[in-house]
Amino acid sequence: MIEIRGLTKRYGDRTAVDDLTLTVHPGRVTGFLGPNGAGKSTTMRVVVGLDRPTAGTVRVDGRRYADLPVPLRAVGALLEARSAHPGRTARDHLRVLASTAGLPRSRVDTVLELCGLTPVADRRVGGFSLGMGQRLGVATALLGDPATVVLDEPVNGLDPDGVLWIRTLTRQLAAEGRTVLVSSHLMSEMAVTADHLVVLGRGRLVADEPTATVLRRAGTRSVRVRSPRPDDLVGVLAGDGVSLASPERGLLEVQGLGADEIGDRALRAGIPVHELTPVSASLEEAFMDLTRDDREYRTDLRQEALT
Ligand SMILES: Nc1ncnc2c1ncn2[C@@H]1O[C@H](COP(=O)(O)OP(=O)(O)OP(=O)(O)O)[C@@H](O)[C@H]1O
C-alpha cells in the first residue's frame, strides 16, 4: 500500500505537487492520470525515494522509503530515466542489480521470462529498441518481487503487442495482491487497464474514484433535441439543474434532463420533436473536463486529443 499525506514538492518557485493526499490500495490497478506536467512523475519519484518531499509524507507498506530494509523487495519502479549501462547485456544488468540488493540470482531468469526478454537476454542494452528498453525497465522493477509496483508511462514506445502485454501483466500483478500504480496521460488506455483512477491536475488531486464511476459519469452528457418550436420547448424544459444551449435555430442541447423526460414533457405540451439524441462524451473528453482548469499545456493536449 502507498500512503501519501499532504505531499508538496516545489522546484524553486514551481509547485510540481500541491498538498496531495492519496492512498493506493493493493489488489487493484490504480491508473495515475493527468496532463503533461501535472506532477505524476514527481509523485512517483518521491514514492521511490528519488526525490525528497518539500512537505508531507509518503509511506510504502507503513514505512518511509529510507526505512525499508530492502527497498527493491518492497517497491519496484519503472521511471522515465534509463539507468542501464549500454555496454551491458540485459542479463548482466539484472544480475548486477540482484547481487547489489542481495536478491537471489534465480529472479533474473524469472523476470527476463516474465518480460519476454529471454531471447535477447545476452544482447547489449545499447542496441535495444525503445520497446525492449521499456521491457527491461519493467523487468528491473519486478526483480525484487516487490509488493508495490510503480510504472511511469509504461506503454510509451511499445507496439500493440507490448501494450497488451503491459495491460495483462499489470492486471496479473494486481490479482496477486500487489499494489500497482501506473501513470499515463491517455484516459483511453487507463480505462481498459485500471480498476481505479487517480487524476492529477497541476499537482492537485482532481479525482480519486473507481474507473467504472468515471466511465458512468462520462456516459451521457447531453441530449440533442430538434423541434420546429424551440422557444416553446425551452419554456417546458428550463428549470433548476438544467442547462440549455442553442447552437443553431431549431436545435437545443440539453444537459441535466434525460431523453425520456424531455420527450414526455414535449408530448404533454403538444410540442413536436423531430430529433432526440443522447450524446455521449468520449473518454478523452471526460478526462479533459476533469482537468479543464488544470492543464499546463493546452495546445499539446488538443493535439493529442485529435490523434
Ligand atoms: N527536476 C525538476 N526541476 C524543475 N522543475 C521540475 C523538475 N521535475 C519536474 N518539474 C516540473 O514540475 C511539474 C510537474 O512535472 P512532472 O514531470 O511531475 O509531471 P508529469 O505529470 O509526470 O508530466 P509528464 O507526463 O510530462 O512527465 C512540471 O511543471 C515540471 O516542469
pLDDT exceeds 80 at position 262: yes
Atom of ligand 1 nearest to the CA of 43: 18
Best residue for ligand 1 mutational test, from 20, 42, 181, 189 (most atoms within 8 Å of Cβ): 42
> 204 or 216: which carries more pLDDT confidence?
204
Residues 6+ apart with CB under 8 A from 78: 134, 137, 138, 140, 141, 150, 151, 152, 154
Q: Does 38 sit in the ligand 1 pocket, CB within 6 Å?
A: yes
What local confidence, expressed as pLDDT, does residue 283 receive?
Answer: 65
Whole-model pTM?
Answer: 0.79
pLDDT exceeds 60 at position 305: no
Q: Using DSSP, state whether 186 is helix, strand or coil.
A: coil
Q: Does 206 sit in the ligand 1 pocket, CB within 6 Å?
A: no
Q: Does 131 sit in the ligand 1 pocket, CB within 6 Å?
A: no
Instruction: Tell me the per-residue pLDDT of 231-261, one tens digit each, with 9 for 90 and over.
Output: 999 999 998 889 898 988 999 999 889 899 9
Atom of ligand 1 nearest to the CA of 38: 21
**Do 252 and 227 meet the contact criterion of CB atoms below 8 Å apart?**
yes
pLDDT exceeds 50 at position 303: no
> What spacing in Å lies between the alpha carbon of 213 and ligand 1's midpoint?
28
Q: Does 134 sit in the ligand 1 pocket, CB within 6 Å?
A: no
> What spacing in Å lies between the alpha carbon of 180 and ligand 1's midpoint?
21
The three cell numbers locating residue 136:
527491461
> 105 or 217: which carries more pLDDT confidence?
105
Q: Does 297 sit in the ligand 1 pocket, CB within 6 Å?
A: no
What local confidence, expressed as pLDDT, does residue 281 receive?
Answer: 66
What's the average model confidence in pLDDT over 97-119? 94
pLDDT exceeds 50 at position 302: no
β pairing state of 75-78 and 148-151: parallel
The average confidence (pLDDT) of the chain is 88
pLDDT exceeds 50 at position 306: no
Instruction: Tell me the per-residue pLDDT of 268-285, one tens digit each, with 9 for 90 and over.
Output: 999 999 999 988 666 667
Domains in the chain: ranges and CATH: 2-216 (3.40.50.300), 220-280 (3.30.70)
What local confidence, expressed as pLDDT, does residue 218 receive?
Answer: 64
What local confidence, expressed as pLDDT, does residue 80 receive?
Answer: 74
Nearest CA to ligand 1 atom 16: 39
> What spacing in Å lies between the alpha carbon of 223 and ligand 1's midpoint?
39
Instruction: Tell me the per-residue pLDDT of 140-199, one tens digit each, with 9 for 90 and over.
Output: 999 999 999 999 999 887 888 889 999 999 999 999 999 999 998 887 788 889 999 999
What local confidence, expressed as pLDDT, does residue 300 receive?
Answer: 41
Q: Does 39 sit in the ligand 1 pocket, CB within 6 Å?
A: yes
ipTM (interface pTM): 0.94
Q: Does 37 sit in the ligand 1 pocket, CB within 6 Å?
A: yes
Q: Does 11 sit in the ligand 1 pocket, CB within 6 Å?
A: yes
238: left (phi over 0), alpha (psi -120 to 50) or beta: beta
What local confidence, expressed as pLDDT, does residue 298 receive?
Answer: 44
Q: How far apart are CA 107 and CA 67, in angstroms?
A: 24
Q: Does 268 sit in the ligand 1 pocket, CB within 6 Å?
A: no
> What spacing in Å lies between the alpha carbon of 100 and ligand 1's midpoint?
30
What local confidence, expressed as pLDDT, does residue 66 receive?
Answer: 86
